[in-house]
Structure 1
Amino acid sequence: MLPDGWRRTTLGDIGSVKSGSTPARSQHDRYFVDGKWPWVKTMDLTNSEILTTDEVITDAALAESSCRLFPAGTVLVAMYGGFKQIGRTGLLREKSAVNQAISAIDIERDQADPEFVLHWLNGSVETWKNYAASSRKDPNITRENVCEFPVILPTLVEQRRIAHILSTWDQAIATTERLLANTRNCVEILSNALLTGRKRFDGHAAWQSKPLSEMICESRVVGSGGDVAKKITVKLYGKGVVGKSDKRAGSESTQYYRRSSGQFIYSKLDFLNGAFGRIPASLDGYESTLDLPAFDFLEGIDPRWFLQYVSREAFYTGHLGLANGGRKARRVNPKDLLRICVPTPCLKEQTRIADAIEAALSAVSIQERHLTLMRQEKSALMSQLLTGKRRVRLPADEAEPA
């Protein structure tokens, strides 16, 4: 049951729904070069205001094609691209054109507030799947689907207050995202400086070039067969080591090797994608084949520093020549890995470097958790506000007349 003054309607009843088009690419210089009108494509949609577009078009494109300009305040919805794209939204802040993959909804301002409609659509994105699932090919939606899309509207005054509250949350989230991106960038700069010696801690000896064979030693403790082994796998880009859940048992004849907590492990096949990690205590005793070799650390090496060093993109992409095999099965073998020489600080400086990088990464983790909580709180609040379960307080001078 809806609160008093609220009503059910559809997008087609509160606005004019049209789609755009693409000017002929064969006239690129005439239609796209030195253009002045934003031309919105699906990838420009960010579920918020459209602040910039990848391409702009010219007056000639508007005059000589079916492209048209939509006014500021038009709400946009992506119609094509499968479940990951359909339902993406945007709100025009200036006159703009759109391509044929987007529905443009010019809202009747005496019926609804465009920002409120934008938030409603963002809170109802899963509903599009009900329409797209009936598509015969890739899941898409049609103009008719957009026109029929259900909307619940409070009074205009309450719409505006709800939109203001949710937009304030969006601004706070966007600010936090920028802070997080800046922190990540600073951590990367600091890490590279410390790990390459461009930035040093005072009081330590000069670095020496050492092969990895003086830092780690391959472990080959024979384990189980593939039919019973508890398996592990290594994520790409230094994202860690996890247990592997096989839906079907492996071959009994495949030899697995026991791995221990704290060992360094990597994937031969995905070396060039940064598939490195240390085995956590929770996976002690798990097993892998020789395609995921594991290594014990030798004396004089801080495992944290070692993993930080090899997990840098500059390290694993800089050794492309080590990969052997065909294009789709290029492997880096342990003997080649162990021959790599790296500039190595003493153990005490390794530890100081690792401590500094971990402290910086901790700041990133705190901001990531804060951002996650903000998104969760905003989502919960949006769900309550858009359904009337939680009402906004209207000042007396803004309240609708009885």
Structure 2
Amino acid sequence: MAVPKLRFKEFDGEWFNIKLKKMVKSLDAGVSVNAENTPPENDEFSVLKTSCVSLGCFDTNERKTVKETIEIDRLKEPLLDCSLVMNRSNTPALVGASAFIRIAPKNTFLSDKLWQFKVFDNTNIEWLAFYLSSEKTLVQLRDLATGTSNSMKNITKPDVLNIDLFASQKEEQTKIASFLSTVDEKISQLTQKYQLLSQYKQGMMQKLFSQQIRFKADDGSEFEKWEETSLHTFLCESLIKGSKGNKAKKLTVKLWGKGVIPKNEAFQGSENTQYYKSSAGQLIYGKLDFLNCAFGLIPEYLDGFESTIDAPAFDIDNKIVHPYFLINRFLQKDFYQKNGEEADGSRKAKRINQSVFLAMQIGLPSLEEQTKIANFLSAIDQKIEVMAQQIEQAKTWKKGLLQQMFV
């Protein structure tokens, strides 16, 4: 029988099989316009990026500002309240991704890579948004995607409209949509708290590293002045040779961002390339991604992994500098962007070599004050991590609900 595993008790009977085109009046796309890659301010005209929609979530910040009058006049398909938007062209993982937008940002329009759904009266559009974001439907949509590039796939309007799905009567659709929207609201609240905590940390780091806020010693006395110190004073390059070729897993040199090296940032090495052993606790940076804040402390799960010469690793003298103080100082824009201007090479291959890096300077307080700063920031990070775990748990719960509340 075509019935969901989890159902509200006031409903019974089978769900009916129906083509999506019997529920959807039209899929309407916008147009490609010239726009500035910055979020709009004060209700400026804007066009949505394809990244605005990602697996059931809508990010209002993923918009580009349209300022030229000639481009504003070309804008087509305004984003509506209570709308459903889908990616028709994206990476293999995100093509077909969709999201429900309850309140549309003002003066916002679709690009040519996005569709906006218009539905018939027999369909609750929010219910349909949840249906389309379920893993079963996403797999179906990805299977329809075509394209010669492995990085970009497309789905066509006829293929999407001919999808078969199972639907309930609109009354039950509305009940399901109302329930799942409360789950989304919970995720939204947790996400907002996560963002506020992250913003608080960023604000505190700026004040701490600019010395607007200073800690005091345990006896209540003032700490001494910070001293400008060259990085080579407490960093020592580690060049322990590892294997050549593809015999072991290596660290890839990509933008890790904000001091985090993800578990999946590893790959099988290339033939005849020399790699270097890395150890947990070492500092590592991407020569080619310096300007993008590609720094990290090697975690325990990457102990013994290897990196190329483009991702040098350094031992840290813990008697001079606290590693967590150091990595957070490196994450400040006034460090990596200002010092990144010293990069050598062509525009497409700018790099910061070890000698240039080690000659850089940072303001260094006493180790005791460093430790107080590190402990303070670490406590905030722990709260952020707990919030991130709660968000993931809520998303996992929602994923399970989607699997059980739809046929």
Whether these two folds match at TM > 0.5 is yes
- Separation in 2 of the partners of 1:341 and 1:41? 39
Which residue of structure 2 aligns with residue 130 of structure 1? 143
The count of corresponding residues between Structure 1 and Structure 2 is 369
Please show how residues 329-368 of structure 1 align to structure 2 within 5 Å: 329-368=349-388
> Residues 112 and 201 from structure 1, CA distance in 2 versus in 1: closer, same or farther, beyond 3 angstroms?
same
Say yes or no: does 1:88 pair with 2:98: yes
Say yes or no: does 1:176 pair with 2:190: yes
Deviations 1:4-44 (A, max 9, x none): 2421112222342253555999xxxxxxxx99999878566
- Separation in 1 of the partners of 2:74 and 2:340? 48
Moved more, 46-55 or 344-353: 46-55
- 2:207 partner letter: A
Task: Measure how far apart 1:148 and its partner are.
Answer: 1.4
- Separation in 2 of the partners of 1:290 and 1:50? 37
SS class of match (1:210): strand
Please show how residues 275-294 of structure 1 align to structure 2 within 5 Å: 275-294=294-313
SS class of match (1:322): coil
Deviations 1:57-115 (A, max 9, x none): xxxx9xx9996889865644443445434342445768998666555543332x22222
Task: Measure how far apart 1:50 and its partner are.
Answer: 10
SS class of match (1:171): helix
Which residue of structure 2 aligns with residue 297 of structure 1? 316
Aligned partner (choices 194, 202, 212) of residue 198 of structure 1: 212
Does structure 2 retain, via aligned residues, the 8 Å contact 1:91–1:118? no
Say yes or no: does 1:263 pair with 2:285: no
- Separation in 1 of the partners of 2:20 and 2:196? 39
Which residue of structure 1 aligns with residue 261 of structure 2? 240
Deviations 1:170-199 (A, max 9, x none): 111112111111111111111222223221
- Separation in 2 of the partners of 1:271 and 1:76? 36
- 2:334 partner letter: A
- Separation in 2 of the partners of 1:374 and 1:77? 23
Does structure 2 retain, via aligned residues, the 8 Å contact 1:131–1:145? yes
Does structure 2 retain, via aligned residues, the 8 Å contact 1:75–1:107? no
Which residue of structure 1 aligns with residue 200 of structure 2? 186
- 2:260 partner letter: K
- Separation in 2 of the partners of 1:365 and 1:374? 14
Deviations 1:92-149 (A, max 9, x none): 768998666555543332x22222122112222232123223x678633333223312
Identity level (%): 24
SS class of match (2:166): strand
Does structure 2 retain, via aligned residues, the 8 Å contact 1:73–1:91? yes
Deviations 1:257-282 (A, max 9, x none): 44444332333333323232233345
- 1:107 partner letter: V
> Residues 316 and 119 from structure 1, CA distance in 2 versus in 1: closer, same or farther, beyond 3 angstroms?
same
Aligned partner (choices 211, 223, 226) of residue 207 of structure 1: 226
SS class of match (1:245): strand
> Residues 150 and 97 from structure 1, CA distance in 2 versus in 1: closer, same or farther, beyond 3 angstroms?
farther
Task: Measure how far apart 1:305 and its partner are.
Answer: 1.3
- Separation in 2 of the partners of 1:197 and 1:297? 23
> Residues 165 and 287 from structure 1, CA distance in 2 versus in 1: closer, same or farther, beyond 3 angstroms?
closer
Does structure 2 retain, via aligned residues, the 8 Å contact 1:241–1:278? no
SS class of match (1:270): helix
- Separation in 2 of the partners of 1:229 and 1:149? 44
Does structure 2 retain, via aligned residues, the 8 Å contact 1:73–1:106? no
SS class of match (2:346): coil
> Residues 226 and 69 from structure 1, CA distance in 2 versus in 1: closer, same or farther, beyond 3 angstroms?
closer
Does structure 2 retain, via aligned residues, the 8 Å contact 1:39–1:98? yes
SS class of match (1:162): helix
Does structure 1 retain, via aligned residues, the 8 Å contact 2:52–2:58? no
Question: Structure 1, unaligned stretches of length 5 or more?
Answer: 26-33, 388-402
Normalising by structure 1, what TM-score? 0.76
- Separation in 2 of the partners of 1:276 and 1:119? 38
> Residues 171 and 333 from structure 1, CA distance in 2 versus in 1: closer, same or farther, beyond 3 angstroms?
same
Task: Measure how far apart 1:368 and its partner are.
Answer: 0.5
Which residue of structure 2 aligns with residue 148 of structure 1? 162
Which residue of structure 2 aligns with residue 226 of structure 1? 244
> Residues 16 and 335 from structure 1, CA distance in 2 versus in 1: closer, same or farther, beyond 3 angstroms?
closer
Say yes or no: does 1:158 pair with 2:177: no
RMSD: 4.0
> Residues 20 and 268 from structure 1, CA distance in 2 versus in 1: closer, same or farther, beyond 3 angstroms?
closer
Question: Structure 2, unaligned stretches of length 5 or more?
Answer: 4-12, 35-41
- Separation in 2 of the partners of 1:286 and 1:239? 15
